[in-house]
Structure 1
Amino acid sequence: MHIKSEPPILYFGTPVVLISTVNEDGSYNLAPMSSAFWLGWRCMLGLAAPSKTTQNIIRSGQCVLNLPSVAQAAAVNRLARTTGSNPVPAGKQQKGYRYVREKFALAGLTPLPAETVAAPRVQECPVQMEAGVAAVHPVAADNPLQQGRIVTIELRIQRVYLDTSILAEGHTNRVDPDKWRPLIMSFQQFYGLGPQVQPSTLAQIPEALYYSPDIDRARELAV
């Protein structure tokens, strides 16, 4: 039986992303989020407009999307309820956030240089993606109470780095889903993926048929 319900959030399960950006003074910011999805070599992020990460991405036009595995759950937790904004915005104060300048040190994570952006990669994350901003879109512009509070940012992926431990045998451009165990956020709780339920019909389509022109564009970027 189904009943009408009004849950305050609708986070039914999405991967955690650690977004690294550069602050105005050149220091690094690192923030966890889970409102993200990918289409080809494009990524859509849903972010609070006043957040430091959002401001840094829009100002600089770039960031790095680092995908933690279940092994990095503790590091992600250490970043929870921290912000790079000083003073801490009122909304985040209410939720118990505190200002932290050295996010990498707090999390126990290691910054690595990127090739096409100034923001660093996170060494411990098995997946790292350098990205540039393609567009910024307002969310909930039809509601005066929410106007200007949320944005979606369309990113164009420029470099992808994969740890060899998650690659399919004999492949350099294909992830083995039996080896990749992303950290999943579901209703504010951490989960991992279990074993395959059954083979997917979509898996019969060769991955090469999804090749994106953005890959060619990314190759043209100078190192």
Structure 2
Amino acid sequence: MAASQHVVIKPNVLYVGTPVMLLCTENADGSFNVAPASSYWALEHMLVLGLFADGQTMANLHERRGLTVNFPGPELWRHVEDIADTTGADPVPEAKSSRYVHENDKFGRAGLTPQASEIVVPPRIQECALQFEAEVRRATPGLGDYYLIEAEVVRIHASADIVVAGTNHIDPRSWEPTIYSFRHYFGLGAEHGFRPTSDTASRLRQPQSA
């Protein structure tokens, strides 16, 4: 491959490409907040989430440690965008006041359906094919106006359509997350390969019986 020429740039954001999540937390009055997020990584059953310090999600997690992490497919991107510039905080934090508006009913505004969880209090989102119930284990202030949230996944729910039958494995050829890249929404493209440690590659490549 020929080397390309590189230039020095200063983009406003560094969202190279991460999954879009919808985080559901419990408000102080017993209602629920839904917030889009995309700062995420996972190791085994621990998630690390990046959340702004002044948001309603962070306020809720300081007091109530349960949350659900719901992964919408690309077809739901407009539902995500419907609440992208809303906040459950009232009054709206000063840093968000130029663009955000307060919204108490995020489920209604986004046209999404709450689905009861089994372990934590906040509901899951029915339209999302992959849903995690999680509990915050540690919240660490970042170097900026944000927190690093370490949350343990305590239950995983997946639509049967994206699970390899008879296993506990997600079929990566059936599951498609929404990828957020430099403020644009994408689905996945063609598969280019897989790790030797893949749980599904050999199983999915077996020839179909007649």
The answer to whether TM tops 0.5 is: yes
Tell me, in whole angstroms, the C-alpha distance in 2 between the residues paired with 1:11 and 1:166: 26
Secondary structure of 2:97's aligned partner: helix
Deviation at 1:203, TM superposition (A): 2.6
The match for 2:148 is: 152
Tell me if 1:27 matches 2:59: no
Secondary structure (helix, strand or coil) at the match of 1:129 reads strand
| Separation (CA, whole Å) in 2 of partners of 1:86 and 1:198 | 47
Q: Which string of whole-angstrom CA distances, capped at 9 and with x for unpartnered residues, describes residues 169-197 of structure 1? A: 332x1001110010010011100001201
- The structural deviation recorded for 1:9 is 1.1
* Cα pair distance change 1:36/1:93, threshold 3 Å: same
1:10 alignment counterpart: 14
Work out which of the residue numbers 165, 168, 171 in structure 1 matches 2:164.
Answer: 168
Offset of 1:135 from its aligned partner?
Answer: 0.7
State the match for 1:48 in structure 2: 52
- Whether the 8 Å contact between 1:62 and 1:131 is mirrored in structure 2 is yes
Give the root-mean-square deviation of aligned CA atoms. Answer: 1.5
Paired position in structure 2 for 1:179: 174
- Give % identity: 37
d(CA) in 2 for partners of 1:12, 1:117: 31
Contact kept? 2:169, 2:199, Cα under 8 Å: no
Aligned to 2:205: none
Which amino acid in 1 is paired with 2:106? K
Aligned to 1:58: 62
Q: Distance in 2 between matches of 1:175 and 1:20?
A: 22
Spell out the pairing of 1:71-150 with structure 2 (5 A cutoff). Answer: 71-94=75-98, 96-140=99-143, 146=144, 149-150=145-146
State the TM-score, normalizing by the size of structure 1. 0.84
> For 1:176, what is the secondary structure of its paired residue?
coil
Q: Number of matched residues? A: 197
Deviation of 1:205 (Å)? 9.8
Residue pair 1:58, 1:133 contacting (<8 A) in 2 also = no
Tell me the TM-score normalised to structure 2 length.
Answer: 0.90
